[in-house]
């Protein structure tokens, strides 16, 4: 797997994927989108990987958006194409990843950067993180799922205001509106993500993948039905037998 724009490492079952264009604020150009798609294909299939931290290189930006330099030549079909390819190959692939994916937001998360953080299963932020959907300043709207996922995370009124004003939320505002779960110092960010994933990695991988599938269905017509079916599918699996037996035998479950 050749990745020119990402750093990719695996330690103790945690893959750390770092978008590595710090001189361009880690902006998402076509190559980054293609590399992210390949990196998450690897996450889906590599049995050594149990969970993922997604972050940005440097101390200033997680991702400052889609690469604006690629926009100027595009017509309507080209614009739709860039949004469709990104959503299908990266943003939806991350959201539906059967292994937990945490965004460690280490600076600007604007436009496509905010959208990238939002397609992860949850988000941590360093104190210098800044979130926003400033596309309206460019005569654009969010195109990587921002109008949908921001609304799901913070509610319709706040999402409307953020997209309409291009206002930037700092880390503590993001915490207050539920966009991030924790705020740390920049130095402590990756360790905090590692600590949370170290706990998660002791849990049943089968159950984790079903939690992701069900929570992703929240608010959709088949959400409750999905939960019923996924709950049922847990029964009789080796992991469910191990978890329940461990409780009854007063020992810690070992899911391998």
Q: How far is CA 46 from CA 13, 50, 80, 241, in A?
A: 10, 9, 32, 25
Q: Is 135 part of the annotated catalytic residue set? A: yes
Out of 17, 52, 110, 189, point to the residue binding ligand COA (CB under 6 A). Answer: 110
The two beta strands, 6-11 and 14-19, are antiparallel
Out of 18, 62, 67, 200, point to the residue binding ligand COA (CB under 6 A). Answer: 67
Q: Which stretch binds ligand COA (CB under 6 A): 32-40, 133-141, 181-189, 241-249?
A: 133-141
Is 170 within 8 Å of 24 (Cβ atoms)? no
Encoded tokens for 204: 């049943």
Geometric angle at alpha carbon 138, from 90 and 115, rounded to 5°: 25
Out of 69, 81, 167, 172, point to the residue binding ligand COA (CB under 6 A). Answer: 69
**How many chain residues are in contact with ligand COA, going by CB under 6 A?**
16
Tell me: does residue 30 bind ligand COA (CB under 6 A). Answer: no
* Interatomic CA distance for residues 103 and 88, integer angstroms: 19
CB closer to ligand COA, 100 vs 111: 111
Tell me: does residue 131 bind ligand COA (CB under 6 A). Answer: no
Tell me: does residue 27 bind ligand COA (CB under 6 A). Answer: yes
Where are the alpha helices (H) located in the chain, listed in sequence order? 30-45, 76-86, 92-95, 112-119, 146-154, 156-165, 171-176, 189-200, 205-215, 223-234, 238-248
How far apart are CB 60 and ligand COA at their closest, in Å? 6
CB closer to ligand COA, 14 vs 116: 116
Tell me: does residue 116 bind ligand COA (CB under 6 A). Answer: no
Q: x/- binding map, residues 137-166, to ligand COA, per CB under 6 A?
A: -x----------------------------
Q: Which stretch binds ligand COA (CB under 6 A): 106-114, 118-126, 157-165, 178-186?
A: 106-114
CA nearest neighbour of 105 among 133, 89, 127: 127
Out of 17, 25, 90, 212, point to the residue binding ligand COA (CB under 6 A). Answer: 25
* Interatomic CA distance for residues 242 and 172, integer angstroms: 40
Sheet holding 6-11, edge to edge: 6-11, 14-19, 51-56, 101-105, 122-126, 182-184
Which long-range contacts link 226-232 to residues 24+ away (Cβ below 8 Å)? none
Out of 56, 65, 86, 243, point to the residue binding ligand COA (CB under 6 A). Answer: 65
Q: Is 115 part of the annotated catalytic residue set? A: yes
Tell me: does residue 118 bind ligand COA (CB under 6 A). Answer: no
CA nearest neighbour of 57 among 108, 3, 20: 20
Q: Which positions touch ligand COA (CB under 6 A)?
A: 24-25, 27, 64-69, 108, 110-112, 134-135, 138
List, by residue number, the catalytic residues: 115, 135
């Amino acid at each position: 797997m050749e990745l020119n724009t990402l750093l990719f490492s695996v330690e103790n079952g945690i893959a750390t994927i770092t978008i590595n264009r710090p001189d361009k604020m880690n902006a998402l150009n076509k190559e980054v989108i293609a590399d992210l798609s390949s990196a998450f294909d690897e996450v889906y299939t590599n049995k050594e990987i149990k969970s993922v931290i997604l972050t940005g290189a440097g101390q200033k930006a997680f991702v400052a958006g889609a690469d604006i330099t690629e926009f100027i030549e595009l017509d309507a079909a080209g614009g739709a194409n860039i949004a469709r390819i990104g959503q299908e190959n990266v943003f939806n692939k991350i959201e539906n990843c059967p292994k937990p994916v945490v965004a460690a937001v280490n600076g600007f998360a604007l436009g496509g950067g905010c959208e990238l953080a939002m397609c992860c299963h949850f988000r941590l932020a360093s104190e210098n993180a800044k979130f926003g959907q400033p596309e309206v300043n460019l005569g654009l709207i969010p195109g990587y799922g921002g109008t949908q996922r921001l609304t799901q995370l913070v509610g319709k009124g706040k999402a409307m205001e953020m997209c309409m004003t291009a206002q930037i939320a700092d880390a503590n505002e993001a915490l207050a509106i539920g966009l991030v779960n924790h705020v740390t110092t920049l130095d402590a960010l990756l360790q905090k993500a590692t600590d949370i994933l170290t706990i998660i990695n002791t849990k049943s991988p089968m159950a984790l993948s079903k939690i992701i599938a069900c929570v992703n269905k929240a608010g959709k017509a088949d959400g409750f039905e999905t939960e019923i079916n996924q709950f049922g599918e847990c029964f009789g699996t080796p992991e469910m037998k191990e978890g329940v037996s461990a409780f009854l035998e007063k020992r810690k479950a070992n899911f391998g």
